[in-house]
Amino acid sequence: MKKSGKTRIIVGNWKMNKAPAEAAALFSEISSGLTADCCRVILCVPFVDLLTVANLAADTEICVGAQNCHFDNEGAYTGEISPAMLNNIGVNHVILGHSERRKYFGETDETTNKKVKLAIASGLTPIVCVGETLLERDLGVTDEKISIQIKKLLNGVLAPQLENLIIAYEPVWAVGSGRCIDHADLVHVCKVIRASLSSLYGIKVANNVPILYGGSINSQNFTDLLNIDDIDGGLVGGASLVAEEFLKIVNCT
């Protein structure tokens, strides 16, 4: 629990790792190691693991998320999975606009915006990723990049719908690189995100949207990063694949 009374959130992003039997084993290790007063835990697992993990999670406090979804609920979209399908099997969250989706699969703010709106309408809570590249940071345009992304990604999303939305700030250069953001830079970008949300929806709504940090979080650096007032938790990739490491983060947050 934070000073503000908000519950902290830690999302584990397993990316393309763990087949169903391994996923079930990792889920059980995590679930049995959680302390009673820990933060809210959301595990975002590969599509093929969702049913297994959602069934295991049904009797626990752990929430389950996908790592992507389509922007239509049905139709001729070979290889895609819709928000309605996810909802149907007990999935309640979905990561959208992750930098790896943008880098390897050409996803844009426009397609992600469509997904965000449909995910909310289909009963899912989107975890919407924003973040600057190293070039943008070096050029000093991080603030502009983040506020434009927020505007584009939330275009058409109404204020009451923000109750079911999480923002994840993930500098592209920090994801999977082992290079973490400086404390002061994170404080600054969080303020930019709150100000962007506030200019669109007003300060009260803006203050209630959870903002997570993601990018090379581990059990050594998370306390410094996640103890910032404006940060409501973390999006953890690599460190979420090892139960002992992930539990150190969630049980102390």
Q: What is the contact surface with ligand PGA in residues (CB under 6 A)?
A: 13, 170, 175-176, 214-217, 235-239
DSSP helix, strand, coil percent of the chain (3-state; round to 5): 45, 15, 40
The answer to whether 56 and 32 have CB atoms below 8 angstroms apart is: no
DSSP 173: G
Nearer to ligand PGA, 11 or 120 (CB): 11
Which position among 70, 98, 132, 136 bears the catalytic label? Answer: 98
In the complex, minimum distance from the CB of residue 91 to ligand PGA, in angstroms, rounded to a whole number:
17
In the complex, minimum distance from the CB of residue 13 to ligand PGA, in angstroms, rounded to a whole number:
4
In the complex, minimum distance from the CB of residue 59 to ligand PGA, in angstroms, rounded to a whole number:
27
Nearer to ligand PGA, 65 or 238 (CB): 238
Q: Which single residue brings its beta carbon nearest to ligand PGA?
A: 237
Nearer to ligand PGA, 74 or 185 (CB): 185
Which position among 100, 107, 132, 170 bears the catalytic label? Answer: 170
Q: CB-based contacts of 185: which residues, under 8 Å, 6+ apart?
A: none
The answer to whether 23 and 45 have CB atoms below 8 angstroms apart is: yes
170 in active site: yes
Segment holding 168, helix H or strand E:
strand 166-169
Q: How far apart are CA 241 and CA 253, in angstroms?
A: 18
In the complex, minimum distance from the CB of residue 209 to ligand PGA, in angstroms, rounded to a whole number:
18
Q: CB-based contacts of 158: which residues, under 8 Å, 6+ apart?
A: none
183 in active site: no
Q: Which residue numbers are catalytic?
A: 98, 170
